[in-house]
Structure 1
Amino acid sequence: MATFTPLLDILADVPDPRRAEGKLYKLPHVLLFSILAIVSGSDSYRGIVTFIDTHRRTLNRSFGLKWRRAPSHTSIRYILQGLDPIGVEAVFRRHAALLHEANAKPGAASIALDGKTLRGSFDKFHDRTAAHVLSAFATDTKLVLAHLDIDAKSNEIPAAQALLAELGIAEDAIVTLDALHCQKNSSRSPRTPKSA
């Protein structure tokens, strides 16, 4: 399917956590079909398998595959949990940048930064609090350009500064943030004493 060819090419750059031999299912296709399943409402590994199994013939025909069955839910879990989050984020940032560049209107860009706590991401067993993620959203193209995990011992302020630096936002861009960022010395750590 030509529409997904650029995304498949970019997904091919995600490092594969599996051994080189015995790969029955190619990683870019597993990732693309997992994305399609999640967008369609699947919220579990079994849901992804059900989506692939239900649409397997159409997917085979559209992408030139010969899958006889969908991967098992344990295979999907093994593949997705083995991925390097930094590598996946880099690939998705590149994809978002290409889409943004193709659809952006000329003039000053407008980026909205917002932090969210991910529901259900806490882990009582490992005594880990819920994950907090900062997102950069391009309001003109309606694309999420990047995500950044906020360290449990930190907050949005240094994360926002790091994310803006990583994205290389133009000086004439309009950036909106929560009121949390309206501090006199937001670039200085709260524990750093003022010099006299």
Structure 2
Amino acid sequence: MESTKSFNQILADIRVRPIERGEEARYQALMTEHHYLGALPKIGETLLYVAMWQDQWVAQISMSGAALKCGVRDRWIGWDFRSQYGRLRLIANNSRFLILPDWHRPNVGSRVLSLLERRIAGDWQARFRHPLFLLETFVDPERFYGGVYRAANWIELGLTQGYRRTPSGYSATAVSPKWVFIRPLVRDPQARLTHPDYTHLQLTGDPNRMLNAEEMRALPLCFSDIKDPRRPQGRRHRLSVVLGIAAGATLCGMSGYKSMADWAQGLGQAARERFGCRRENKRYVVPSEFVIRDCLVRVEPGTLDRALSLWNQSWGQTADSALAMDGKTMKNAVDANGAQTHILSAVGHTSRTCYAQKK
């Protein structure tokens, strides 16, 4: 029989690291086989970790974006719904934690969580270019006690209200309240997360916007006059819908085709209906990454710019009393005559909105 001393040495030798690209299929297969909720698709900011002893996989952990709304967490932090939106990315959610069957041993779970806490802030900063202040997780009390989180000194905040996401929004009645546990990664996380100065949060760029229902409906209308450059055959999504979703994703802080597509996949059915998405089998479907890329590449940039300017005039949150003119010479960009390309832009002093751009 294995001695306590030798197993303590095994615990000390366990290491946690992000999985490599070639390991993702194995990771998802094991999660599907052994976790009662199955594998979780990667949407938005997500890191997948594996705990290892020598060459054996011990446990798997999925870390993803924080829950949009959680009453006990939000009251503990002390922020309101509007101010929290641009700061949710400072919190990561432990969306899956799986200890593999051969490793259901004392202290394994708390050891793995401890190792994760030591490195995740650095990994998150390196991958997503912003810090983490807090970890959160939800535990089903009908299945688990949350002992591994308690042993790892996570803070128990209480129960959620029990409403769950459905294809049409949220369930009408409470179904299954979950225990909420958090783990601060910094001192005074509440003070940092509620600090009135956004720059104090070490986030790059402007605060993310949160689109309301009227703005979602208005975005596709701005692109309704743009002629669709695609062939009629095989069109599943109207051009105005694709461009509206791409613009909405950009306004909410997404950059790149994949992040736009991930943002679209994260939209609920009510939001998809507001954007005018196609309805199939009683569900609204969003365009894929390929469709978003294909449309944005085909549409003439000046046409997009003029359409977005119209939307900004109607829905922009900040009025500009003055404009700044900014000119640049594009490096290594030449026209058909071999001349370098020059760009002149008109930018609002207060909102930093680009009102016009001329080549």
What TM-score results when the alignment is normalised by the length of structure 1?
A: 0.54
TM-aligned CA distance change 1:10 to 1:37, over 3 Å? closer
Three-state SS of the structure 2 residue aligned to 1:136 is strand
Quote the offset at 1:55 in angstroms: 1.2
- Structure 1 or 2, whichever has the larger Rg, is 2
| Aligned: 1:11 with 2:223 | yes
Structure 1 residues 18 and 56, CA gap change in structure 2 (3 angstroms): farther
Deviations 1:12-45 (A, max 9, x none): 1222111234321111221121122223333221
Q: Is the 8 A contact 2:323 2:349 kept in 1?
A: yes
Match among 29, 45, 59 for residue 241 of structure 2:
29
Question: Residue 77 of structure 1 is aligned with which of 293, 299, 302?
Answer: 293
The one-letter code of the counterpart of 2:214 is: A
From the superposition, tell whether residues 112 and 48 of structure 1 become closer, same or farther in structure 2 (CA, over 3 Å).
same
Q: Equivalent residue of 2:249, what SS?
A: helix
**Cα 1:69–1:117, aligned 2, differ >3 Å: closer, same or farther?**
farther
Give 1:80 shift.
0.9
CA contact (8 A) 1:15 1:87 kept: no
Unaligned runs of 5+ in 2: 1-212
| Structure-2 change in CA distance of 1:71 and 1:97 (3 Å) | closer
- Root-mean-square deviation (CA), in Å? 3.5
Q: Which residue of 2 aligns with 1:90?
A: 306
Question: CA contact under 8 A between 1:96 and 1:144: conserved in structure 2?
Answer: no
**Residues in 2 aligned to 1:134 and 1:111: alpha-carbon distance in whole angstroms:** 13
Change (3 A) 1:25 1:122: farther
Question: 1:7 & 1:63 partners in 2: Cα distance?
Answer: 8
The offset of 1:69, in angstroms, is: 3.9
Comparing both chains, which one has the higher relative contact order based on Cα–Cα distances under 8 Å and sequence gaps of 6 or more? Answer: 1
Runs of 4 or more consecutive aligned structure 1 residues displaced over 4 Å after TM superposition: 96-100, 102-105
For residues 27-66 of structure 1, what are the structure 2 equivalents within 5 Å? 27-63=239-275, 65=277, 66=279
Contact kept? 1:111, 1:137, Cα under 8 Å: yes
**TM-score of the aligned structures, taking structure 2 as reference length:** 0.32
Report how far residue 110 of structure 1 moved.
2.4
1:45 and 1:122 map into 2 onto residues whose CA distance is: 24
Match of 1:112 among 324, 340, 344: 324
The offset of 1:82, in angstroms, is: 0.6
Question: Cα–Cα, structure 1 residues 96 and 64, in superposed 2: closer, same or farther, change >3 Å?
Answer: closer
Give the conservation status (yes or no) of the 8 Å contact 1:135–1:145.
yes
The alpha carbon displacement at 1:91 in A equals 2.3
Cα contact 2:243–2:292 (8 A) shared by 1: no
Structure 1, residues 54-82: CA drift from partner, whole Å, max 9, x if none? 11424224345426543232222111101
Task: Confirm or deny: 8 A CA contact 1:11 1:91 kept in the other structure.
Answer: yes
Tell me what 1:2 maps to. 214
CA distance in 1, matches of 2:256, 2:351: 29
CA separation of 1:51 and 1:103: change in aligned 2, threshold 3 A? closer
* Structure 1 contact 138–144 (Cα < 8 Å) conserved: yes
The alignment partner of 1:34 has SS state of helix
Gaps of 5+ in 1: 150-196
In proportion to residue count, which structure has more strand? 2
CA contact (8 A) 1:56 1:69 kept: no
**SS of equivalent to 1:81:** helix
For 1:139, give the aligned amino acid: H
Q: Is the 8 A contact 2:249 2:264 kept in 1?
A: yes
Match for residue 346 of structure 2? Answer: 136
Pick closer, same or farther for the CA change 1:8–1:115 going to 2, 3 Å: same
Matches of 2:313 and 2:252, distance apart in 1: 24
Partner of 1:169: none
